[in-house]
Structure 1
Amino acid sequence: MTQRRKTDVARPIGDHGIIGDLRTCALVAVDGTIDYFCWPDLDSPSIFTALLDSDAAGIFSLAPRWPDARRQQLYLPDTNILQTRWLDDAGVAEVTDYMPICEDPHQTPRIIRRLAVLQGEANFELRCGPVHDYARAATRAARHGDAVDFSAPGQPVLRLAAGVPLHIEGHAAVARFVLKAGESLEFVFGSAEDERVAAGDNLACFTATLQYWRNWCAAGNYKGRWREMVNRSALALKLLTSLRHGSIAAAATFGLPEHLGGERNWDYRASWIRDASFSVYALMRLGYTGEATSFIKWVARCLEHSQYQPDKLQVMYRLDSETDLPEEDLPHLSGYAGSTPVRIGNLAYRQVQLDIYGELMDAVYLANKYGEAISHRGWEHITKMIDHVCENWNQADAGIWEMRGEPRHFLHSRLMCWVAIDRALRLAAKRSLPMPYARWDQARTAIREDIWTHFWNKDLGHFTATRHGQDLDASMLLMPLFRFVGATDPDWLATLDAIKHSLVQDGLVRRYNNADTPSDPLPGDEGAFAACSFWYVECLARADRLEEAHFEFEKLLSYANPLGLYAEEFDRRGYALGNTPQALTHLALISAAFFLERKLNGGEPLWQP
């Protein structure tokens, strides 16, 4: 892995690991600080928000007073249990962070931090200062026996239990103590109403958590040359799934910028139909079919909340499948690297994005092919949805990138409408399900003809992102991936070369050129999009440009943080931008690795859509 530069922020986006319990997640920086944590759910208000402001917005720091120590992070193999280590002339220390799996919906999440000194002796300092409600509440600390409670009006009471005396400084619990080689301590943070939040020996809990992750990881079927990176991506995707609801969040965070100092700062703690469907696709490809079954059940609840009306199907839903995601600015937060406004919620849920029907139908098709058969009522809802697509595919929309300008006719939306009908026809034939074949097939043919007639620019000699346009868009890379066009078709290869010339820089792919996209009215630029970069690799591999694909893939792997995690975007130097870890990036890595592996081994992938 590459060395990270220092920036003007205390803890860069890429200098974090993530822990979670399938209900929520926390980010742990390489200096031992938890500076981002939403509690009790992933989409609940944050209680540690220093990543988006300053330490006064809430942190849980734990570190030896070794200013010159080398710091490193690693996961215990095949788990989401994170170790942060300090290596100094005075000794070696480490903190092991994890969250026990939250299998009981009535239990609240807790963080367990086990500190140990392996060599030498160290003076440690602990500071735990949560601030409720996105750092808006007046949180107070008070002693509760050997623990410290944190309370605010109208907010749940939190507790820190420790094996050393805790003191209160301001509104934080602090401790300063010495540990020698062979000594260890545990700290437990969670709800004051949870009797498990107590100082003591949590060895059994640690063992159960370790075994859970290793058992889950062992169920995967990828054994190729990039096993470590693929497994880490799968584990990251799993952390973003809700054990209770079956939804899959787009990312663990909100408000992290796509452009430093700019306003492209969105909340990704929701389940996008598109991203979640892609995630299911990637997990099924690795052999994890249980997540697909849970996701389809979550979709059924979303349809119920949308009154089973296809025109009311939203781009995204809350993790519990509810529909309302009002957008709000948090002006009291200064933002990561001064990037404001910091937003929670996401108004994109009100947009019309026709591509979501294709991504959802592709996931339903694959879930039926490799998992449980669709129910009778489920097929009735699908039939209604496909009828809606047949009637409305020729409409303008906001597109995959959720443009906040005027709706346009996007190629990707057309493509995915074609995918929706195509996969429905395939599923009906495979399961002998009733369908209006002639009407659906006629619409599928009409969409194909529309794409070739209105999105192919004869003068430029390639497809374009919009109807009768000239601009390019990285979402076009999905055309061969969804088997609309052959990966070696000369017309597609000309389009691939055009994308390479216009949007690719040293293997990093931009979504689009802002100057060519009037539907994007926001000021400022953005970084290269990580998922698109992996789509590009897969397109190269499918086009039999294996040497180029292999080299670009290895370069992309070098842009991961030292733990193998990716945010949404890269800046021009390859450093992380945007919300993290992002599901779309990790699932695209899995897809590219899976296909490239088989091609390098001399054969087509055995797993086909």
Structure 2
Amino acid sequence: MASRIEDYALLSDLHTGALIGRDGSIDWLCFPRFDSPAVFTALLGTSDHGRWLMAPAHPEATVTQRSYRGRTFVLETLWETPDGTARITDFMPVGDRRASIVRRIDGLSGSVEFTERITVRPGYGKVLPWVRRVDEGDKNEAIVAIAGPDAMVLRGDKLPHALDREHVGSFVLEAGQRVEQELIWFPSHRPVPPPINIEKALEETSNYWNKWAARYNQDGKYAAIVERSLLVLRALTHEDTGGIVAAPTTSLPEDFGGARNWDYRFCWLRDAALTLEAMLTHGFAEEALKWRDWLLRAVAGDPEDLQIMYGLGGERDLTEGELGHLPGYEGALPVRIGNGAVGQYQADVVGEVLVALEKLRLAGGHEDHFSWPLQQAMLGFVEKHLSAKDHGIWEMRGDLLHFTHSRVMMWAAFDCGVRAVRDHGLSGPVERWEELRNELHVEIMELGFNKELNTFTQTYGGTATDASLLVLPQVGFVGYGSPEMLGTVDALEAELLDGHGLILRYQTATGLDGLAPGEHPFLACSFWLVEQYAHTGRRKDAVKLMDSLVGLANDVGLLSEEYDMEQGRMAGNFPQAFSHLALVRAADALHGTEQLSLSDEPIDTHTMPIIVPS
């Protein structure tokens, strides 16, 4: 049985990621990319579906400390047994173009007996590979597994031996002794890769992460968790393509035992655009430009073919399917790969992208012969679909509707077009964009705002609210402290706050999303509420909620998509980029509004300070 979601830590090599539990078992790993079929899939099944366990054999062994080494994704776990102590160091080498994972075990005191169990199962745990032990000379052996296009080789000390359909081993480690192993994936048609210099790889990997994070130098109460969140966003970014996955996992349930299980190993334009903003605010302009280049390649072509998400390399076919051989995380079915929402029309997406690119311009990013014409084409797409209903930000699988948040983001798209011409000297039909922007504003205030209830509504003509309405002041549509926004916050608090002070996305009991009701608070929405409180003089409320949210991170600073407060456990895919980028925004709001007073004027978020590295 898989561990609780919060018991996992992430390893990353900027191409893929592994989840390793506190029990020493790597239960999830896709090679060679985030969206490749998993070779370890115990997270969504059993140990028979693939895992790599390395842990003390003593039944009273406990983890006394687990942490990343400094500003890295090198994980160190200290084990204590009645007989001694040992440390396991796990990492994925960065920068060497290998797809591998390294496990180093050091004896610290006394003696510790370790158990190793490794089961390689390509194809999401379905394929049984052909495994053989090979002699590599100089008394060195390796274990090679091959199945179709996939091949893996395990090298190192104290290699396990075949037992039924897994490999099992044990060894005793005395103080001062060390055991090291590396598991490498490679295409089966190629020769077996040579051994790695583990010490050099560890040094280079640590140097990479520390050097990358050194550009972040903010202080304050939330500095450490913001730094780790920025590192998570980087860890979920593909080194070559610049694509940012929403999470490295699929089908971790939003509702335990339910059917709200989705594949998040793809690049949502919305999530990536918001990640870009978070990166820019903290000086990571190079990463932002890399993402822009990914965007240009991914959406190139007929604007009518625009999708809300793409593969890491810009792939468009993300057909949703089900893996019937897997029992799911704690029985949550179905287990899905691919994502059917790829074919949805979500009217907010272009606005999210253009807001991010406007921030990039303000940070000094220059448009080229491709990037600005593409944005003009995207604005043409918005105009062409101006009256169309959509599925909304939450990817509703029910009827198409006019969602107020979507309409506001269309307004924001034209607003960014106007700014590009008026403020940055670019060319375009600015008078037409101004006209459409103004018409949308009037329409939204007439149809998306309920005057009797004094609140913006989830949909035109409706009465229900939606946490996405907290985004309206973030893009400058209204002021954080405007009467309309304050009334909306009152309505949100009355309708969507749970008993623990966290906010739900919307009321699932209405059936609006086409699914059975039931989910837990979506963490990003509560971070949005922190931002709203911070900008409207409710600093005590903001800090209280922020402290509560930060306290939901696990021992290595990672957040999932949702949180089940009743059971005290994480829910949804993990770690979730959306949660971490919203945390960064909330911390920035608290950091930047300490001396600000309530204002009734719309706040121009386009002029928020952006830190550009010197």
Aligned partner of 2:36: which letter?
Answer: S
Q: Conserved in 1, the CA contact under 8 Å of 2:297 and 2:314?
A: yes
In structure 2, relative to structure 1, the CA distance for the partners of 1:387 and 1:398 (3 Å cut) is same
Paired residue total: 592
What is the TM-score of this pair, normalised by structure 2? 0.94
Q: Conserved in 1, the CA contact under 8 Å of 2:253 and 2:329?
A: yes
Aligned partner of 1:133: which letter?
Answer: G
Shift in Å at residue 346 of structure 1? 0.3
Aligned partner of 1:255: which letter?
Answer: S
The 3-state SS of whatever aligns with 2:52 is strand
Residue from 4, 14, 29 that aligns with 1:12 = 4
Q: Deviations over 1:471-499 (max 9, x none)?
A: 11111111111111111111210100110
Q: Conserved in 2, the CA contact under 8 Å of 1:122 and 1:180?
A: yes
Q: Conserved in 1, the CA contact under 8 Å of 2:85 and 2:108?
A: yes
Residue from 38, 44, 52 that aligns with 1:60 = 52
Partner of 2:600: none
Distance 1:138 1:469 in 2: 53
Residue from 315, 327, 331 that aligns with 1:334 = 327
Partner of 2:405: 412
Q: Deviations over 1:369-399 (max 9, x none)?
A: 2142011332112112112213323320000
Shift in Å at residue 76 of structure 1? 0.7
Aligned partner of 1:57: which letter?
Answer: H
Please say if 1:598 is aligned against 2:592.
yes
Shift in Å at residue 583 of structure 1? 0.4
Aligned partner of 1:119: which letter?
Answer: S
Distance 2:531 2:172 in 1: 52
Partner of 1:180: 174
Distance 2:291 2:476 in 1: 24
Partner of 1:260: 256
Aligned partner of 1:111: which letter?
Answer: I
Q: Deviations over 1:391-432 (max 9, x none)?
A: 323320000000111111001100110111111211222321
Partner of 2:378: 385
Residue from 140, 144, 149 that aligns with 1:149 = 144
Distance 2:431 2:575 in 1: 44
Please say if 1:122 is aligned against 2:112.
yes
Q: Deviations over 1:201-232 (max 9, x none)?
A: 51111111000000000012422221110011
Distance 1:149 1:271 in 2: 33
RMSD across aligned C-alpha pairs, in angstroms? Answer: 1.7
Distance 1:197 1:541 in 2: 54
In structure 2, relative to structure 1, the CA distance for the partners of 1:269 and 1:10 (3 Å cut) is closer
Please say if 1:511 is aligned against 2:501.
no
Residue from 307, 312, 321 that aligns with 2:314 = 321
Distance 1:194 1:230 in 2: 42
Distance 1:163 1:489 in 2: 65
Partner of 1:352: 345
Q: Deviations over 1:518-576 (max 9, x none)?
A: 43121241111011111111111111100110111001111111111011101133411
Shift in Å at residue 172 of structure 1? 2.2
Residue from 51, 65, 79 that aligns with 1:86 = 79
Q: Conserved in 2, the CA contact under 8 Å of 1:62 and 1:124?
A: yes
Q: Deviations over 1:157-183 (max 9, x none)?
A: 111112114311123222211001111
Please say if 1:369 is aligned against 2:362.
yes
The 3-state SS of whatever aligns with 1:359 is helix
The 3-state SS of whatever aligns with 2:481 is coil
Please say if 1:300 is aligned against 2:290.
no
Q: Deviations over 1:251-289 (max 9, x none)?
A: 010111001111111000000000000111111111111
The 3-state SS of whatever aligns with 1:56 is helix
Distance 1:169 1:150 in 2: 15
Please say if 1:220 is aligned against 2:213.
no
The 3-state SS of whatever aligns with 1:141 is strand
In structure 2, relative to structure 1, the CA distance for the partners of 1:602 and 1:414 (3 Å cut) is closer
The 3-state SS of whatever aligns with 2:472 is helix
Partner of 1:583: 577
The 3-state SS of whatever aligns with 2:28 is strand
Aligned partner of 2:46: which letter?
Answer: S
Distance 2:214 2:388 in 1: 45
Q: Conserved in 1, the CA contact under 8 Å of 2:5 and 2:574?
A: yes
In structure 2, relative to structure 1, the CA distance for the partners of 1:66 and 1:600 (3 Å cut) is farther
The 3-state SS of whatever aligns with 1:459 is coil
Question: Structure 1: where are the runs of 5+ without partners?
Answer: 1-8
Q: Conserved in 1, the CA contact under 8 Å of 2:27 and 2:43?
A: yes
Distance 1:303 1:129 in 2: 39
The 3-state SS of whatever aligns with 2:512 is coil
Shift in Å at residue 90 of structure 1? 2.3
Shift in Å at residue 194 of structure 1? 7.0
Partner of 1:25: 17
Shift in Å at residue 317 of structure 1? 0.4
Partner of 2:461: 468
Partner of 2:67: 74
In structure 2, relative to structure 1, the CA distance for the partners of 1:547 and 1:315 (3 Å cut) is same
What is the TM-score of this pair, normalised by structure 1? 0.94
Please say if 1:44 is aligned against 2:39.
no
Aligned partner of 2:81: which letter?
Answer: D
The 3-state SS of whatever aligns with 1:14 is helix
Aligned partner of 1:511: which letter?
Answer: R
Q: Conserved in 1, the CA contact under 8 Å of 2:31 and 2:185?
A: no
Q: Conserved in 1, the CA contact under 8 Å of 2:228 and 2:557?
A: yes
- More divergent stretch after superposition (391-400 vs 63-72): 63-72
Q: Deviations over 1:571-602 (max 9, x none)?
A: 13341101010100000000000110122366
Distance 2:488 2:424 in 1: 36
Aligned partner of 1:127: which letter?
Answer: R
Q: Conserved in 1, the CA contact under 8 Å of 2:143 and 2:154?
A: yes
Partner of 1:208: 204
The 3-state SS of whatever aligns with 1:100 is coil
Shift in Å at residue 250 of structure 1? 0.5
Please say if 1:247 is aligned against 2:240.
no
Q: Conserved in 2, the CA contact under 8 Å of 1:159 and 1:197?
A: no
Shift in Å at residue 196 of structure 1? 5.4
Partner of 1:285: 281
Aligned partner of 2:3: which letter?
Answer: R
Distance 2:238 2:117 in 1: 30
Distance 1:510 1:79 in 2: 33
Distance 1:266 1:449 in 2: 37
Distance 1:195 1:428 in 2: 55
- More divergent stretch after superposition (333-342 vs 58-67): 58-67
Residue from 151, 158, 161 that aligns with 1:164 = 158
Q: Conserved in 1, the CA contact under 8 Å of 2:79 and 2:85?
A: yes
Question: Structure 2: where are the runs of 5+ without partners?
Answer: 136-140, 598-602
Q: Conserved in 2, the CA contact under 8 Å of 1:408 and 1:519?
A: no
